Structure 1
Amino acid sequence: MSDPAFHYAPIGLVELENRIIRRCNLQFARMFGGNEDEYRDMPLLRLYPSQAEYERIGARWLEEMRETGHYSDERIMRRRDGDLFWCRARGRSLTPDDPFRHGIWSFSDISEDRPMVELTPRERDVAILSCRGLSAKEIGAQLDLSYRTIEAHRARLLEKFGARKLPELVAKLSGMPL
């Protein structure tokens, strides 16, 4: 073992090349199931709930990485046994000119703080941007949707999460105590 700090870090760590796992640490393997060797050379796609999610998040990830060299979000991921869970992902490209080529990523299981609710990709986008404090008009502009469409998505989110008002929804989505 050449790097005990990487191996025993209390957070899931992976080294990616072109979205292929080259190595991971013990905590990452525990979080997703299995042992470290089982992840070597595994496409990250296998840990996403769907191909569509992999592509959607990858496009957003690439755009932000090109601008800043790093990326962070909270998303649904899939364990090797198929169970879905909320995960916080943070990454930094080691090759800013080609962000996917080589990077280091951390993954944290945040499912205890987040209810597992089935959301469409668009509802997930609206939820994430709402938690960032954007207004319905700002979210609409970012997603190229009308203000009314964003309000309809928010109404469905309120219902799904059993929230009465937007601040209560944001609190539930962000895992804050109510």
Structure 2
Amino acid sequence: MSDPAFDYAPVGLALLEHRIIKRCNLQFADTFGATPAELCELPIAALYPSVEDYQRIGEILQMPESQSGFYHDERIMRRTSGALFWCRVRGRSMDGAHPFQTGVWSFADLSDERPVVSLTPREREVAILTCRGLSAKEIGLKLDLSYRTVETHRARLLDKFNARKLPELVAKLSGMPL
């Protein structure tokens, strides 16, 4: 079944059922370094940087605040070559109460705007929540960490991104010009 609007959309699109790629467009395949046929029936887990990242996103999708059926974030994903890259992800489940049943997801490659820096899964979580404007205390509550532990993760992020202060780190993380 061919749909030119889906197949030739300028953003990567994938139809997932139970976190298995059932259909994807040309841009999605190009972004991940494969053909649509090679990606069809592939578990989306194969495109995550780690099993832990895959499980963490799965847990988030099952939280009560995700029951709207809409989800979005920016995260590291993995091409079929193994190369890691930043990606903007937007998704909509057909049924918010069953987020993995069927959903349409878009994936936009951000690697030109944001180079990949090796981060631990916890550093990625802290970086994402920092970019959303949460304080160290708010991040600590959300991730069940002390605010001092969050500050330690932020200090490592400042070092890894060669940023002097938090606003500079946020600018570098979000791809904004400095």
The interval holding the TM-score normalised by the smaller chain is over 0.9
Report the CA distance between 1:120 and its aligned residue: 0.6
What SS class does the counterpart of residue 63 from structure 2 fall into?
helix
1:16 paired residue number: 16
Q: Which amino acid aligns with 1:133?
A: G
TM-score norm. by structure 1 comes to 0.96
2:86 paired residue number: 86
Report the CA distance between 1:73 and its aligned residue: 0.7
Q: Which amino acid aligns with 1:48?
A: Y
RMSD: 1.1
In 2, the alpha carbon distance for the partners of 1:134 and 1:68 equals 22
In 2, the alpha carbon distance for the partners of 1:62 and 1:105 equals 16
What SS class does the counterpart of residue 151 from structure 2 fall into?
helix
2:7 paired residue number: 7
Residue-by-residue CA offset, 1:116-157 (whole Å, 9 max, x unaligned): 111111111110000000001111111111111111111110
Residue-by-residue CA offset, 1:9-43 (whole Å, 9 max, x unaligned): 00000000000000000000111012111111110
More displaced 10-residue stretch of structure 1: 158-167 or 57-66 = 57-66
TM-score norm. by structure 2 comes to 0.96
1:162 paired residue number: 162
Query: Which residues of 2 match residues 15-164 of structure 1 at below 5 A?
Result: 15-63=15-63, 66-164=66-164
In 1, the alpha carbon distance for the partners of 2:64 and 2:107 equals 18
Go from structure 1 to structure 2 and tell me whether the alpha carbon gap of 1:173 and 1:64 turns closer, same or farther (over 3 Å shift).
Answer: farther
Which aligned segments of 4 or more residues in structure 1 are displaced greater than 6 angstroms? none
In 1, the alpha carbon distance for the partners of 2:132 and 2:64 equals 16
Aligned pairs, number? 178
Go from structure 1 to structure 2 and tell me whether the alpha carbon gap of 1:107 and 1:91 turns closer, same or farther (over 3 Å shift).
Answer: same
Report the CA distance between 1:95 and its aligned residue: 1.9
2:172 paired residue number: 172
In 2, the alpha carbon distance for the partners of 1:42 and 1:145 equals 35
Residue-by-residue CA offset, 1:64-110 (whole Å, 9 max, x unaligned): 67432110011111101111111111000012231110000000000
Q: Which amino acid aligns with 2:38?
A: E
In 2, the alpha carbon distance for the partners of 1:96 and 1:142 equals 22
Partners of 1:65 and 1:99 within 8 A in 2: no
Identity level (%): 66
